[in-house]
């Protein structure tokens, strides 16, 4: 047991990056995930935890194990990478978590994008595991611009409707900034992440108007009503709704995979993590800028500066600040979370 | 003079598609646009007018001529098409309107998308002319899925800011539906189109809260204050703002073209239409679906049906309904608009 782990006693526990990773490894190995899955998932969970993205951090381990116990994920799935067209890589995740499928398809995506200017990675038959920005950062490190999205399950009504149909369908984007941290955003097309409504429920709080409707389609501030009987709502009214529909289509039927409603049907009420496809587009500035690539890319710095000068926040700043802090000081987990995770290795 | 044109006398005038096109041709030819530009622009304007998209219809002719008189557009520009990479077509519009540049690049975009699975058309140095959905429909007719976007001029503050920096940066998407009309959306990433605020000003109306801020960065309902001294606001708070920044980057520096703020500086206060780049991505379902393409594409029909069954509207329905009506009955222009257009050919 590490020095940090010996500090368990109070309400919180502090762990460094290596300790977080060791803990993830232990849990996932204990539950029968193959070594490549253990490594891919641990890397993504620890990256999220280190970046202050708690909803995609170690907390996910409980959902992973529950999904495994439901038969909702294949712990030893071996992804199959297919060179489907000059600018298309397809990876069949074979029912495993998405992280390994992404890792195995990424090198081919990078080389196709660099050779052809733009390329697409379509992951099929994967179980949603981690935040998209983890994958986006992998691509910006190669100097590529990237967009990723996936459907989830039918939690959300389209704008103007009242029944759950669409997923919370995240869209993520990344822009490389030389040696600096990339500009990255990653958000649900719902008004708020599902996890935030769940958090309100756990804490017995009302939710703000605009997040969801009740079973009658009327605005509701009751998290249980919205989550279990009504529907979540899209961000930005008809525009966010249209974007959520776009994600359904391009990361669903376009790549031969499921809509959110089909994923919900597939789950048969087991409450597993969403089983779906994922779409990642990568673009190479060197092939698109028409020369003077570095000079053009640097012009974006003026935009970022002007955003910050007027007091607005750049999408990814909070994440990088958290990362810096956590690298220096470790991550503080609540005692409750730590004990829940420890129960998984009993 | 056509029969319809003889009906001028009341407050309105009814014109059929051929008459609208003839009128556009007359205006643009009279002002020295080359024949290819006359045809490309007329086609786009008439398509918009026939589809009930008035803000991108004949009304635009006045802005086109004003921009021409400012030296803001090259009326005889000959676009140069370049095969920049296996999945990249670049078209240098040479300061002409975007419609012709798009038309000339589209065949190569289509063939690259069909050969490689995904391809990109980057238009540089063009003047914004028409709605993006016109171009999107050209690609869905080929069975392709398409996404398009462009910066404009610095009209909008980022979320959390108060100074004009970003463009109204439209994003459009199209999904082919066999013989039926495609699913298409096309919207500004601002809370509302700039033209709608201008319409309120002309009518002496207040604008709703959320559309813009005054020169102090405070919420304003005064259209003149928002347009001339303050800033427009993005749709969907930080998410719409992030998408607007994405458009700045991928249809700006990524393709070696200008940010909205650079386009505003380039204009030097002349009030010309935005000069910028445009980015169009096309994807071929046949290369992405992994087989059974038609069957997969048909699954999207279930999604569209379920959207409509709960009383929500599909993004493009209103446009197709207007098109049907106008094809049968012609388009009714206000007497004021008709006279403004006629003044351009005196």
Q: In a mutagenesis test of the A interface, which of B253, B277, B301 is the best target, namely the one with the most A β-carbons within 10 Å?
A: B253
Helix, strand, coil percent values for chain B (each to nearest 5): 45, 20, 35
Are B187 and A242 in contact (CB < 8 Å)? Answer: yes
What is the predicted pLDDT for the residue at A54?
86
Contact B249 A145 (CB under 8 A): yes
Residues B89, B64 share a domain: no
CB contact under 8 A, B157 and A312: yes
The whole-angstrom separation of Cα B209 and Cα A140 is: 38
User: Which range (A55-59, A174-178, B236-240) has the least confidence?
Assistant: A55-59
Q: How many CA atoms lie within 13 A of B157 on its CB side?
A: 29
Q: Could you tell me if residue A300 is inside a domain?
A: no
Least confident of A25-39, A55-69, A248-262: A55-69
Count CA atoms within 13 Å of residue B154 on its CB side. Answer: 23
Q: Which of A88, A119, A163, A255 should be substituted to probe chain B, the one whose Cβ sees the most B Cβ atoms within 10 Å?
A: A88
How many Å apart are CA B146 and CA A326, to the nearest integer? 41
Are A339 and A281 found together in one domain?
no
| Tens-place pLDDT, residues A262-280 | 999 999 999 999 999 999 9
Whether B196 is catalytic is yes
Catalytic-labelled residue, pool A25, A196, A267, A340:
A196
Closest residue in B to A255 (Cα) is B289
Instruction: Say yes or no for a CB contact (<8 Å) between A300 and B252.
Output: yes
CB A166 within 8 A of CB A154: yes
Residues A50-59 have a mean pLDDT of 91
Closest CA to A172 of A143, A147, A154: A147
Q: In 3-state terms, what secondary structure has residue A325?
A: helix
Tell me the three state secondary structure of residue A308: helix
- pLDDT value at B8 more than 80: no
Q: Which residues form the domain of B262?
A: 80-288
> Residues B184, B188, B192, B198: what is their CA dihedral angle, to the nearest 10 degrees?
-110
B56, B125, B159, B200: the active-site residue: B56
Determine whether the interchain pair B240/A239 forms a contact, defined as Cβ–Cβ distance below 8 Å. Answer: yes
Average pLDDT, chain B: 95
Q: Tens digits of per-residue pLDDT, A112-165? A: 999 999 999 999 999 988 899 999 999 999 999 999 999 999 999 999 999 999
ipTM score: 0.96
> Of B162, B196, B229, B340, which is the active-site residue?
B196
Arithmetic mean of pLDDT, B216-235: 97
Res. B12: pLDDT tops 60: yes
Q: How confident is the model at residue B104 (pLDDT cuts 50, 70, 90)?
A: very high
CB nearest to B311's CB, from A115, A160, A307: A160
| Residue B161 lies inside a defined structural domain of this protein | yes
Q: What is the maximum alpha-carbon separation in chain A? A: 60
Active site residue A196: yes
**The pLDDT value given to residue B55:** 83
CA end-to-end span of chain A: 15
What residue of B is the nearest CA neighbor of A160?
B312
Looking at residue A170, its pLDDT comes to: 97
The token pair at A61 is 């381990």
Say what the pLDDT of residue B130 is.
Answer: 86
Residue where one domain finishes, among candidates B288, B305, B334: B288
Residues B235 and B172 in one domain: yes
Contact A292 B256 (CB under 8 A): yes
Does residue A162 fall inside a structural domain?
yes
Q: Above pLDDT 70, what percent of chain A? A: 97
CB atoms B254 and A285 under 8 Å: yes
User: Which of A246, A268, A288 corresponds to the end of one domain?
Assistant: A288
Q: What is the pLDDT of residues B141-152, one digit of tens each?
A: 999 999 999 999
Out of A167-181, B5-19, B91-105, B113-127, pick the least confident: B5-19
**B117 CB-side CA count, 13 A:** 28
Same domain as A255, residue A218: yes
More confident residue, B2 or B187: B187
pLDDT for residue A139: 98
Q: Which residue of B120, B262, B303 is in closest CB contact with A248? A: B303
The string of DSSP codes covering B6-22 is GGTTSSEEEE-HHHHHH
d(CA B320, CA A238): 18
pLDDT of residue A9: 55
Find the closest chain B residue to A311 by CA distance.
B161
Residue A43 in any domain: the answer is yes
A300 and B236 within 8 Å at the Cβ level: the answer is no
| Chains A & B: contacts with CB separation below 8 Å | 255
Q: From chain B, pick out residues whose CB is under 8 angstroms from the CB of A252.
A: 299-300
Distance spanning both ends of chain B, measured CA to CA: 15
Q: Are B312 and A158 in contact (CB under 8 A)?
A: yes
Q: Is the pLDDT of residue B9 over 70?
A: no
Q: Tell me, what CATH number does B215's domain have?
A: 3.30.1370.60
What is the domain-level CATH number for residue A324? 1.10.1530.10
Q: Does the pLDDT of residue B4 top 80, yes or no? A: no
pLDDT, position B3: 42
Do the domain assignments include residue B303?
no
Identity of the residue in B173, B237, B307 whose CB atom sits nearest the CB atom of A165: B307
Residue A3 pLDDT:
42
- Within chain A, where are the H helices? 17-30, 35-50, 60-69, 98-116, 132-140, 194-202, 223-224, 237-250, 260-267, 285-288, 293-309, 317-329, 335-343
Q: Which of A288, A304, A329 is the C-terminal boundary of a domain? A: A288
Task: Please count the other Cβ atoms lying within 10 Å of the Cβ belonging to residue A205.
Answer: 12
* CA A336 to chain centroid: 23
The answer to whether B56 is a known catalytic residue is: yes
- Using DSSP bridges, classify how beta strands B331-334 and A145-149 pair: parallel, antiparallel or unpaired: unpaired
Domain count, chain A: 2
Q: What is chain A's mean pLDDT, rounded?
A: 95
Are A60 and A150 in a shared domain? no
**CA B105/CA B237 separation, integer angstroms:** 35
Does A107 map to a domain?
A: yes
Q: For residue B283, which residues of chain A lie inside 8 Å, CB to CB?
A: 120, 250, 254
pLDDT digit string (tens) for B200-224? 998 899 999 999 999 999 999 999 9
- CA–CA gap between residue A293 and residue A290 (Å, rounded): 7
Of A85, A173, A248, Cβ closest to residue B287? A85
Tell me the Ramachandran region of residue B173: left when phi exceeds 0, alpha when psi lies from -120 to 50, beta otherwise: beta
Inter-chain CB proximity B256 and A303 less than 8 Å: no
* Same domain membership, residue A239 and residue A142: yes
For the four alpha carbons of A81, A85, A86 and A90, in that order, the dihedral sign comes to negative
Specify whether B124 is located in the same domain as B175.
Answer: yes
Integer CA distances (angstroms), A226 to A198, A223, A293, in order: 10, 5, 48
Give B296's contacts in chain A (Cβ within 8 Å). 253-254, 256
Q: Is residue A120 part of a domain?
A: yes
Beta bridge partners of A219: A213
Cα gap A79→A100, rounded to integer Å: 7
The answer as to whether B281 is a domain residue is yes
User: Which pLDDT tens digit goes with each residue over A202-252?
Assistant: 889 999 999 999 999 999 999 999 999 999 999 999 999 999 999 999 999
In a shared domain, residues A119 and A228 = yes
| pLDDT at residue number B141 | 98
User: What gap in Å lies between CA A88 and CA A9, rounded to an integer?
Assistant: 52
- What was the pLDDT predicted at B1? 38
Confidence grade of residue A10 (pLDDT, cut at 50, 70, 90): low
Residue B2 has pLDDT above 50, yes or no: no
Contacts of B263 in chain A (CB under 8 A): none
Nearest beta carbon to residue B306 from set A165, A173, A287: A165
User: Based on the domain organization, do B46 and B94 belong to the same domain?
Assistant: no
Q: What tokens appear for A342 in the block?
A: 């420890």
Q: What is the 3-state secondary structure (H, E, C) of B61-89?
A: HHHHHHHHHCCCCCCCCCCEEEEEECCEE
B25, B31, B34, B55: which one is catalytic? B55
What is the rounded CA–CA span in Å between residue B302 and residue A261?
Answer: 10
Kindly list the residues from chain B whose CB atom is less than 8 angstroms away from the CB atom of residue A307.
Answer: 158, 161, 165, 245
Q: What is the pLDDT of residue B10?
A: 67
- Contact state of A287 with B238 under an 8 Å Cβ cutoff: no
Residues B29 and B141 in one domain: no
Distance CA A9, CA B38 (A): 78
pLDDT in tens, B145-186: 999 999 999 999 999 999 999 999 999 999 999 889 999 999
User: How far, in Å, CA of A98 to CA of A151, rounded?
Assistant: 13
> Burial code of B83-116, b = ≥16 C-beta within 10 A, e = fewer?
ebbbbbbbbbbbbbbbbbbbbbbbebbbebbbeb
The pLDDT tens digits for B59-73 are 999 999 999 999 999
Question: Which residue from B118, B313, B315 is facing A119, i.e. has the nearest CB?
Answer: B118
Provide the pLDDT for residue A2. Answer: 42
CB A134 within 8 Å of CB A47: yes
DSSP element (H, E) containing B332:
strand B331-334
Give the model's pLDDT for residue B54: 86
Do A55 and A155 fall into the same domain? Answer: no
Q: Please indicate, yes or no, whether residues B96 and B60 belong to a single structural domain of this protein.
A: no
The Cα A143–Cα A138 span in angstroms is 10
CA B305 to chain centre: 27
Mean pLDDT of the A64-79 span? 97
**pTM reported for the whole predicted model:** 0.96
Mutate to test the interface with A, among B158, B159, B281, B298 (most CBs of A within 10 A): B158
How distant, in Å, are the alpha carbons of A78, A267, B139 from that of A70?
20, 9, 43
Q: Inter-chain contact B287–A241, Cβ cutoff 8 Å?
A: no
């Amino acid at each position: 047991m590490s020095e940090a782990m010996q500090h368990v006693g109070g309400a919180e526990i502090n762990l460094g990056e290596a300790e977080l990773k060791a803990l993830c490894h232990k849990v996932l190995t204990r539950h029968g995930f193959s070594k490549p899955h253990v490594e891919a998932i641990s890397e993504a969970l620890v990256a999220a935890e280190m970046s202050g993205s708690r909803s995609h951090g170690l907390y996910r381990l409980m959902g992973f194990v529950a999904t495994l116990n439901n038969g909702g994920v294949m712990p030893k799935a071996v992804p199959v990478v297919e060179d489907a067209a000059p600018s298309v890589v397809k990876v069949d995740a074979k029912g495993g978590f998405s992280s390994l499928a992404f890792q195995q398809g990424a090198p081919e995506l990078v080389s196709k994008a660099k050779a052809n200017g733009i390329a697409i990675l379509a992951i099929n038959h994967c179980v949603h595991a981690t935040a998209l920005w983890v994958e986006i950062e992998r691509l910006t490190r190669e100097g590529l611009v990237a967009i990723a999205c996936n459907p989830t399950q039918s939690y959300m009504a389209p704008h103007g409707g009242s029944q759950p149909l669409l997923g919370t369908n995240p869209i993520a984007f990344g822009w490389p900034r030389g040696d600096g941290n990339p500009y990255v955003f990653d958000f649900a097309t719902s008004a708020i992440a599902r996890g935030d409504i769940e958090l309100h429920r756990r804490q017995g709080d009302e939710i703000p108007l605009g997040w969801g409707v009740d079973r009658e389609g009327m605005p509701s501030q009751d998290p249980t009503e919205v989550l279990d009987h009504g529907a979540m709502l899209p961000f930005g009214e008809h525009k966010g709704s249209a974007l959520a529909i776009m994600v359904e289509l391009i990361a669903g039927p376009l790549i031969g995979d499921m809509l959110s409603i089909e994923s919900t049907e597939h789950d048969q009420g087991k409450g597993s993590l969403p089983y779906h496809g994922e779409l990642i587009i990568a673009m190479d500035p060197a092939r698109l800028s028409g020369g003077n690539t570095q000079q053009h890319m640097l012009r974006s710095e003026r935009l970022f500066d002007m955003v910050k000068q007027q007091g607005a926040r750049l999408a990814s700043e909070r994440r990088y600040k958290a990362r810096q802090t956590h690298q220096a000081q470790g991550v503080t987990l609540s005692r409750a979370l730590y004990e829940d995770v420890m129960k998984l290795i009993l």
